Chain A
Amino acid sequence: MDKIRALIVDDSSVMRKIVERSLRQAGIELEKVLEASNGSEALAALHENQVDLILCDINMPVMDGLEFVRAAATVPNAKGVPIVMITTEGSESHVVQALTAGARGYIRKPFTPDQVKEHVLPVLGRKP
């Protein structure tokens, strides 16, 4: 399988590490991992870098995850790049808002590595 470049967006550095570890446990080889602690930093990273996958929290300071997903739609480097939300916000309305905004997957915290595998591999065109 090809190695991928991932952007992990979460205001918790601990959670960013856990998400990265979960991707590796899912068998996803990572060529590069970019990190951002809010949506605004993530947009800046996208202007400078090409990535293959974005994993994004919702509740963050400065710019939240839903706002980021909407804004990312206008960034050329983000065109066609799958975004999977990883968040404590588990309501149906948040799921609908995220998917309507352009997210391709939704994982509720707390999550297992298997859930990451189940939701991330399909958006990368791979079998879970």
Chain B
Amino acid sequence: MDALTLHRIHFAFTITFHYLFPQLTMGLALLIVAMKTVALRTQDVDQRERYDVAARFWARIFAINFVLGVVTGIPMEFQFGTNWSEFSRRTGGVIGQPLAMEGVFSFFLESAFLGLLLFGERRISRRLHWFASFMVFLGSWISGFFIIVTDAWMQHPVAYQQLPNGTYEVTSFWGLLMNPWAWLQYAHNMSGAVITGAFVVAATGALYMLQQKHQEFGRVFLKVGVVAGVISCIAQIFPTGDLHGKYMARHQPAAVAGMEGLFHSTPGAPIVLMGQPDVERQTIDNPLVVNKVLSFLIYGTTAAEVKGLDQFPQDQWPSALPLLFYSYHIMAGLGTYFAALMTTAGFLLWRGKLYNARWLLWPIMLSFPLPYVANTAGWMTAELGRQPWLVYGLMRTSEGYSKHVGPGTSLFTLLGFLGMYSLLSILWIVMVYTAIQKGPRAPVVDQGHDAHTLTTA
């Protein structure tokens, strides 16, 4: 394999792995705030106690994921320099800003208040403790924002100028932060993170109900998870996914054509629900289509013409076309399934029948890995759709990598990360599974009576 391919796989693998953790922590952070709010506001002593214990339990799971997010996040920060040095040199004057802001504004905040959230409960007032959970939430969501601003600039560069030495610099700070692409992407991405959080919480609730243990918490988790799930699953499709898709069709038409597998421009374009793109013959095998829907989704009328790949020179086609097509279809397919599952569950919750509906508890419990799949597929869509550009329209991926780092070296570190991260995955699963099996009331292993450690169990 050549150096470029290896650097791409290197980056893709490490960031995909990293994003497994923040998507849960960002989603959970919101749900923990919600649980703590209920506990703070309720007059009912039992309920207050239950929600306090629930919030504490999820804060422990949060902590495990947080540490993994931190140790896998640090390599990301360095990899721009190690593996994408030419990209960093040329665009550092723009994207260096949001990346540095992430560190300065959110990581300090998060690490400080997480300690308070985990161990401060007995030293500070209930209101202050609620505030700590809120600040942890804020920190993780700010962190997500700056990262998305970075990515959005690569997808849709704004507020920049080129200097005589060929590098780029930001020309308007607010222009960079107010990139419309960033806000659309942020809304969609954060809603996706809430889906992950909601599914994990609801699945744990379903597990407890099916196992008939910790049932008082099973009910709390199901309720919180399903309510958050209904809202976020709907928001994921409409308005966030829909708007994002429309905006993309205007600014990255080649990517949309690739996602939809549209080889030829067509008025009244059909949507392909399923099929296998054949790039050489430029067709979709075994297509399952609904006529005119694509034109309607993008332009609001059934007759509009949608640009196909034939409108673009072949060297501007997304380079991994079939993978792009599948990623997009997996995301959108799962999104439809999530919305159906969660609205059904929401309906039963409203009618008071959810806790005994074993036929529904099973799929809720088994579906918890799927949001991870959907979020990963979503990022694959975004990143593969951007190809062959590293910064859309400005810089090609083939120009950006570290030319002085040979393929052997890159393969060596890639293998190292593969090995290291396989171990991490095992540890992660064991730790989270043990915590869930022990249940919310399990005593904490090493709480350090006076909060002298950041770690929990």
Do chains A and B stick together as partners?
Answer: no
